[in-house]
Structure 1
Amino acid sequence: MAVFAVTYVYAPDPARLDAFRPEHRAFLGALHDAGSVVVSGPLPAADGVGGALLIVEAPDADAAAALLDDDPFRREGLVAERVVRAWVPVIGSLGR
């Protein structure tokens, strides 16, 4: 399995982000339990725009993106931008 760093930039809609956050976290938690999402968490807002970093294991970038297609934040139009990039950890470990 390859490792991918996925970044989200959130839409500037704090009320809707708050409303869907429990469902979003449950979705990612299930992917974590299944072994696909290694770790995820928010990126602090810069200039009022927040986001997230997700480290995902998948066969390729398309599969990594497909894993996250049903994320409630994405479904609700709250992910303004998503970037999937291969990531090659060199120092440290992912705690597996």
Structure 2
Amino acid sequence: MIFAILLMDLPGTAELRIQTRPEHRAYLGQFAEKMAFAGPLTSEDGQTTVGSLLVMDFPSKADVEAWLSDEPFTKAGVYEKPVIHVFNNSWPQQVGFPPAK
């Protein structure tokens, strides 16, 4: 089942996010085969990170919650309460759009 996972940062955690990012990226890398896409959400300036959006395959919401409990940004206290919903992709992805950075 595909889940959209919206994770907004708590105010004042920008430095904590930067410090924890290598561990966060390594953790995500362990689950790459489950990811449709993932990345940071930014403010309108396109630079200031305000959260994360992940779309991933898990058997159940309980499995998402268990995965999140071990996620480094979650453990470090970067995120507010997650918003998790089943996601039904109704539009085919465009290969190479937008280009990965």
Q: Same fold (TM over 0.5)?
A: yes
Deviation, structure 1 residue 21: 0.7
- Stretches of structure 1 lacking an aligned partner (at least 5 in a row): none
Runs of 4+ that moved beyond 6 A: none
Q: How many residues align?
A: 91
Give the letter aligned to residue 63 of structure 2. Answer: A
Q: Which amino acid aligns with 2:80?
A: A
| Matched position secondary structure for 2:77 | coil
Q: Which residue of 28, 33, 36 corresponds with 1:38?
A: 36
Aligned AA (1:10):
D
Provide the rounded CA distance (Å) in 1 between the counterparts of 2:61 and 2:43. 26
> For residue 77 of structure 2, what is the aligned residue in structure 1?
77
TM-score by length of 1: 0.83
**What is the distance in 1 between the residues matched to 2:14 and 2:3?**
27
Give the superposition deviation at 1:94.
8.7
Alignment of 1:1-96 (within 5 A): 2-12=1-11, 13-32=13-32, 35-45=33-43, 50-93=50-93
Identity %: 27
TM-score by length of 2: 0.79
Question: Distance in 1 between the 2:94 and 2:82 partners?
Answer: 22
Distance 1:94 1:72, change over 3 A: farther
Question: What do you get for the CA RMSD once the two structures are aligned?
Answer: 2.0
